[in-house]
Each structure stands twice: as C-alpha cells, then as structure tokens.
Structure 1
Amino acid sequence: MLGTGTAGLAAAGTADAMLGQSAAKAVIKNADGESVGSLRLEHGDPGTSKITVAVSGLPAGYHGFHVHTKGVCDPRSTDPSTGSPFFSAGAHFDLGSGTHPDHSGDLPALLVSRDGTGNATTATDRFGVNQLFDGDGSAIIIHAGRDNQANIPDRYRGMDGKAGPDDESLKTGDSGGRIACGVIEER
C-alpha cells in the first residue's frame, strides 16, 4: 500500500513528472534551414530514455538515425571527403569505445513513407537524457541512406581484400551523407 504522507505524495509526484514529461527536444532542419521534423526525448522506465521523432519532406526509404557528439548543426560545415553538410555535429555519440552499431547514440533506422513522412518511437538504455548535455551538447542526425548496422558478413570482401565490415561501416553503418540535423536542447 502506498503511503499517504507528504513524503509519499512528493515521491509519487516526482516519478509521475519523470514518466512522460519531455526532458529534451530538437527541431530538425535540412541543409537549407527548413524545418523537416521534431524530436522529443523523455525519461522512460528506470534506466531508459524514450525517443520520439516525426519528420516530413524527406526522401522515401530507410535512413540512418543517430545522436551525434556535438550540439552544432551548421550546414556550411561539410565533411572534407564527401561534402556532406552538418559535419559540425561530430561523430556518433558514444559513452564507451565501441564501434557501430554499438555506439551509445546508434538508434534504429528511420523509415520514411512515399509521401515523405515518418514517425518513430523507441526506447534505449544506452544513455540517459541528461548525459546528452555535456560541455558541447549533442545533436540528432538523419542520414541520406539506410544503416546497415555494420552487418557485413565475412564472405564479402572490401577493395582491400579484408573480410567483413570496413572502417567506414564500423563508424557509421554506411548511412551516407547527413541530410538533416537538430540540436538537442533541454526543455
């Protein structure tokens, strides 16, 4: 039985406030600065973060969807090797030293319908919402291509003759360029 004292009510109120209350958000924009979606992060069940995204105006298909290490979405900051925008957001967010798909910020692929819209909700125990607000913040990135989760069987060989996933696949899942970015902000 729950206590009816003030302490019991305060604790219940705190738990209720944490569950379902938006703790962070992002407005997701394309390289032209147009809003293409939004992201909401909430405290989920103990030890999890709930992530909800809604997008429109994007190319149909699966897209890599990741939290990146820096809260900067400058479309003029381009990858020197590919010309992809939003290079300012840095690499995939990772609290450890793993490779893709085991970075803390690696999320399930985002499916966009033929009409350009997509919605997804997922939960992760890889990071807490508050961990995204380190000294340089964090961003959400939507990539141009699907994320192969570095699932390259050893029977395939790269141009170097090496079996399995190459270095690029272990960094990004071969998701391709960055097409949209949103700075994650506290609510």
Structure 2
Amino acid sequence: MPKARTFGRTHLALCLALAAGVAAIGVSAVADATAARQGDPRPVVIRDTGGVAVGRLSILREGFGKARVSVSVKGLTPGFHGFHIHTTGLCDPKAVDPATGQVSPFFTAGGHLDLAGGAVHAGHSGDLPPLLVGKDGSGTASVVTDRFGLRELTDADGSAVIVHALPDNLANIPARYAPDGPDEATHRTGDAGGRTACGVIR
C-alpha cells in the first residue's frame, strides 16, 4: 500500500507539472502573438473625396512573411470596386494630374505598390481582390498576402489604400475579346476607374 500511495502522489505531481507546462506554453503563445502585433499601425481611416469617413482598414502581421489585410466600408455604391495599396501615403482629394492639368482625386497616392518593379496588373504587390459592396452600401473583406509586409507599407513616405469607382477585372481580358491583349489602362489598373476613397497607411 505505501508503494501505491507513493506512485499515486508521483503520478499526480507529474500531471500537475505537465498541466502547468501546457498552460505556460499557452500563455507564452498568446504573449508572443500580442507582442508581434504591438508594432502594427493603428487602423487606417478611409475617406471619400468629401472627407467623409467611409471605412477602416487594418493590416496585421500573420507570421511567415505574411500580412492580413481587413477592410470594412459603408456608404459606397453597390457592386465590385477595385481595391489596391498605392505607393504614397498622401490622400489629397483635390490633387491635379500634371499630365492633364485636371483634378484627379487622390492622384498624390501614386501608382500601385510594385515592390518587384515592372509588373503589370494584377501582378503589382498592392493588387488585392476586388471589394464587394452590398445593396446597403456596406462591405467587408479580409485577405492574407505575402506580397508585402508592414515594413514596406510604413516606410518614409508611407503608403495608401485606394477604393476605386469601378470593378477590377484584374487585367483578365480573353483573347476573343481583345486579340492584342489588355491595353495600357487595363494593365495599369484593371479598368477600375477613378479613385473614390483613400486612406493613409503610416
């Protein structure tokens, strides 16, 4: 009997130690996940050309060189919208395109983020899946990408998220419609049209 009691006490002690170890690992994992996100930028406010807040964007580290991009919008036209990360964190609704001399809202955000250089749509680093807005004008989306990290978005001049006026065809134009392939505008933006909303990523 004494041996049985000793075995029981030893077994109980081992179980408690293992449980404590598992709990410590769990707490450590949560702490690591929290620490990994302490440097993440605050949610980005997305504003339309009138300065009205129409959405929020967050970008979080996912590990393994990936980032999670999440967006929520309201008050937009129902349907699909081009949704991209642009090179410069400057959202001027009264910006002028030097090439035309015409007002081009958010032209100051630059072109699509293209870390590799020389890519066409939808090969740009900042090209994201089109954003679907419902009949009530609201929409949400979340995507994980390894095309960029927070470091590339929060450099000296920052970057910007742009919501476009029209659907983004991702430059997918079958040869039966265009034997010569997508034209320059399609390669540049996927025919997503003007920039209707912008948010600065810092």
Aligned to 1:169: 186
The one-letter amino acid of 1:70's match is: T
Question: How far apart in 1 are the matches of 2:26 and 2:201?
Answer: 32
Give TM-score, length-normalised by structure 1.
0.85
Aligned to 1:68: 86
Question: How far apart in 1 are the matches of 2:143 and 2:35?
Answer: 17
Aligned to 1:86: 106
User: Are the equivalent residues in 1 in contact too, given 2:94–2:103 (CA < 8 A)?
Assistant: no
Which structure has more RCO (C-alpha within 8 Å, separation ≥ 6)? 1
Secondary structure of 1:155 counterpart: coil
Report the count of equivalent residues.
Answer: 179
Question: How far apart in 1 are the matches of 2:39 and 2:73?
Answer: 18
Q: How far 1:88 sits from its partner (Å)?
A: 0.5
Question: How far apart in 2 are the matches of 1:139 and 1:18?
Answer: 25
Aligned to 2:132: 111
Question: How far apart in 1 are the matches of 2:51 and 2:181?
Answer: 38
Question: How far apart in 1 are the matches of 2:89 and 2:95?
Answer: 13
CA displacement, residues 25-72 of structure 1 (integer Å, 9 cap, x when unaligned): 310000000000100000013211001100000000000000000000
Secondary structure of 2:55 counterpart: strand
Secondary structure of 1:111 counterpart: strand
Q: How far 1:124 sits from its partner (Å)?
A: 0.4
Secondary structure of 1:23 counterpart: coil
In structure 2, the CA distance between the partners of 1:136 and 1:66, relative to structure 1 (3 Å rule), is: same
In structure 2, the CA distance between the partners of 1:112 and 1:9, relative to structure 1 (3 Å rule), is: closer
CA displacement, residues 133-181 of structure 1 (integer Å, 9 cap, x when unaligned): 1221100000000000000112223xxxx61101111111110000000
Q: How far 1:130 sits from its partner (Å)?
A: 1.6
Secondary structure of 1:95 counterpart: coil
User: Are the equivalent residues in 2 in contact too, given 1:153–1:163 (CA < 8 A)?
Assistant: no
Question: How far apart in 1 are the matches of 2:155 and 2:39?
Answer: 18
**Which runs of no fewer than 5 residues in structure 2 stay unpaired?**
1-17
User: Are the equivalent residues in 1 in contact too, given 2:94–2:104 (CA < 8 A)?
Assistant: no
In structure 2, the CA distance between the partners of 1:151 and 1:125, relative to structure 1 (3 Å rule), is: same
Q: Is 1:128–2:149 an aligned residue pair? A: yes
Q: How far 1:23 sits from its partner (Å)?
A: 1.4
Question: How far apart in 2 are the matches of 1:184 and 1:143?
Answer: 17
Match of 1:137 among 146, 153, 158: 158
Moved more, 32-41 or 125-134: 125-134
Question: How far apart in 1 are the matches of 2:166 and 2:36?
Answer: 33
In structure 2, the CA distance between the partners of 1:78 and 1:62, relative to structure 1 (3 Å rule), is: farther
Question: How far apart in 1 are the matches of 2:78 and 2:110?
Answer: 25
Aligned to 1:184: 201
**Which runs of no fewer than 5 residues in structure 1 stay unpaired?**
none
Q: CA RMSD in A?
A: 2.6
Secondary structure of 1:171 counterpart: helix
The one-letter amino acid of 1:180's match is: A
